[in-house]
A and B are shown apart, each in its own frame.
Chain A
Amino acid sequence: MLRFILMRLGKAAIILIAILTLNFFLIHAAPGDPAAVMAGEAGAADAKFIAQLREQFGLDKPLLVQLGIYLKGVIQLDLGYSYRQQMPVADLIFQRLPATLLLTVSAFIISLFLGTLAGVLASARVGKWSDTLISSLALLFYATPLFWAALMAVLLFSVYLNWLPGFGYETVGANYTGFARALDIGKHLILPAATLGLFFMAVYMRMTRASMLEVSQLDFVKTARAKGLKPSIIQRRHIFRNAMLPVVTLAGLQAGQLVGGAVLTETVFAWPGIGRLMFEALAQRDYNLLLGVFFVSAAMVLLFNLVTDILYRVVDPRIRVA
Chain B
Amino acid sequence: MADFWKRFSRNRGAVIGVAILVVVLVVAILAPLLLPQSPWRMVQRPFLPPFSMDQYPLGTDALGRDVLSGLAYGAQVSLLVGLVSTLAALLIGIPMGALAGYFGGWVDDALMRFTEFFQTVPSFALAIVLVAIFQPSIYSIIAAIAIVSWPPVARLVRGEVLSLRSREYVEAAILSGQSNLTIILRQVLPNTISPIIVLASLMVATAILLESALSFMGLGDPNMMSWGYMIGAARTVIRQAWWLSFFPGVAILLTVLALNLIGEGLNDALNPRLARRGK
Contacts and interface: CB of A to CB of B under 8 A. Distances in A.
In the complex, A touching B, CB below 8 Å? Answer: yes
A260 B125 contact: yes
A108 to B, nearest CB: 14
Contacts of A214: 274
Interface in B79-116: 113, 116
A152 interface: yes
Given A143-B253, A213-B276, A15 B217 contact: no
Given A142-B260, A159-B239, A15 B122 contact: no
Contacts of B252: 145, 148
A263 B124 contact: yes
B277 interface: yes
Contacts of A127: 277-278
Contact of A155 (B130, B133, B242): B242
B246 interface: yes
Given A127-B277, A140-B257, A27 B120 contact: no
Contacts of A257: 122
B235 interface: yes
22 contacts: A15-B116, A19-B120, A26-B129, A127-B277, A139-B13, A143-B205, A144-B249, A144-B256, A148-B212, A154-B238, A155-B238, A159-B238, A213-B277, A260-B125, A261-B122, A263-B128, A264-B213, A293-B125, A297-B122, A301-B119, A301-B120, A301-B122
Interface residues of A, number: 51
A23 B121 contact: yes
B118 to A, nearest CB: 10
A143 B249 contact: no
A278 interface: yes
Interface in A1-60: 15, 18-19, 22-23, 26-27, 29-31
B135 interface: yes
A102 to B, nearest CB: 18
A145 B235 CA distance: 14
Classify chain B: how many residues form its interface, as a range: 35 or more
Contacts, number: 126
A300 to B, nearest CB: 9
Kindly list the 9 A-B residue pairs having the minimum CB-CB distance in the complex, ordered from nearest.
A260-B122, A127-B278, A148-B249, A143-B257, A30-B133, A143-B256, A260-B125, A298-B120, A301-B120
Q: Do most interface residues of chain B lie in helix, strand or loop, or is the interface mixed?
A: helix
A282 B132 contact: yes
A275 interface: yes
B277 A148 contact: no
Q: Do most interface residues of chain A lie in helix, strand or loop, or is the interface mixed?
A: helix
Interface string B239-258: 10010011011001100110
A18 B117 contact: yes
A29 B134 CA distance: 8
Interface in A175-219: 210, 213-214, 217
A152 B129 CA distance: 27
Contact of B256 (A145, A256, A298): A145
A290 B133 CA distance: 12
A151 B256 contact: no
A15 B121 CA distance: 11
Contact of B238 (A151, A263, A279): A151
Nearest to A210: B276
Contact of A27 (B117, B119, B129, B213): B129
Contacts of B133: 26-27, 29-30
Contacts of A30: 132-133
Nearest to A279: B128
B261 interface: yes
B229 interface: no
B213 A146 contact: yes
Contacts of A260: 121-122, 124-125
Interface string A245-271: 000000000001101110110011000
Given A27-B133, A145-B209, A147-B216, A264 B124 contact: yes
Contacts of B141: none
Nearest to B276: A213
Interface in A266-289: 267-268, 275, 278-279, 282-283
